[in-house]
Amino acid sequence: MPDIIDPEELEQKKIFLILASPKTIRQRNIDIIKEISTLGYHTVVITTNFPYSVLTKMYTLGEVPSDCVSFIDAVTRNSIGSVENIPGVVRYINNPANLTDMGIAVTEVLKDHSGKKVCIMYDSVSTMLIYLSSANISKFIHFVTNKLRLMDISGVFLAVEKGLDPMLMTQLTTFVDTVIDTG
């Protein structure tokens, strides 16, 4: 598969919305992380789709270097309860609907990586629809994209194609620089 993200656009701190089919979204997640890491970036994955422990197994099988990725996990505590953060590796928040904690976690993790080439990857916008209204998701993505722009950091939002309502899709398209439909 050819590169999904243009390295020049990533270097220009662009923000991407990447659409994938339900069948390929897991592989796209791995492909994107591999691409970004080969370009020397550390990726902070905000996951509302898979727990940290599942993603690390997927990344290991996909030959993604573990030192190139850290996580903000919004799934695990919601599923199993108390679990301790692992500094520099994973920060857990209580549930995907807690946008305040998610926003704080993003800010703190980005501070931890200041001075490095960092990219945020949000997996997945589609899953957020289980927990939140389209309006709240749109507000949060607007907040995150503005924070990324102000901090001069690249970002990737992963979503299932045709999994977003038309109004949310329109809004997201205006917040990002590039929409890539990987099919």
pLDDT tens digits for range 38-55: 999 999 999 998 899 999
- pLDDT exceeds 90 at position 183: no
Choose among 112, 132, 128: nearest CA to 120: 112
Q: What is the pLDDT of residue 2?
A: 58
Q: Comparing 157 with 81, which gets the higher pLDDT? A: 157
Contact predicate 72/44, CB 8 Å: yes
Q: Where are the domains of the chain?
A: 17-181
Rounded average pLDDT over 169-181: 96
Between vectors from CA 161 to CA 155 and to CA 167, what angle results, nearest 5°? 80
Q: What is the pLDDT of residue 163?
A: 82
Rounded average pLDDT over 152-180: 94
pLDDT in tens, 120-148: 999 999 999 999 999 999 999 999 999 99
What does pLDDT average to over the chain? 91
- pLDDT exceeds 70 at position 29: yes
Q: What is the pLDDT of residue 70?
A: 93
pLDDT in tens, 86-121: 988 999 999 899 989 998 998 888 888 878 899 999
Between vectors from CA 124 to CA 35 and to CA 140, what angle results, nearest 5°? 115
Choose among 57, 13, 60, 58: nearest CA to 36: 13
Q: What is the pLDDT of residue 40?
A: 93
- pLDDT exceeds 80 at position 81: no
Of the options 3.40.50.300, 1.10.10.10, 3.90.1150.10, 3.90.1170.50, the CATH number for the domain spanning 17-181: 3.40.50.300
- pLDDT exceeds 90 at position 35: yes
- pLDDT exceeds 80 at position 1: no
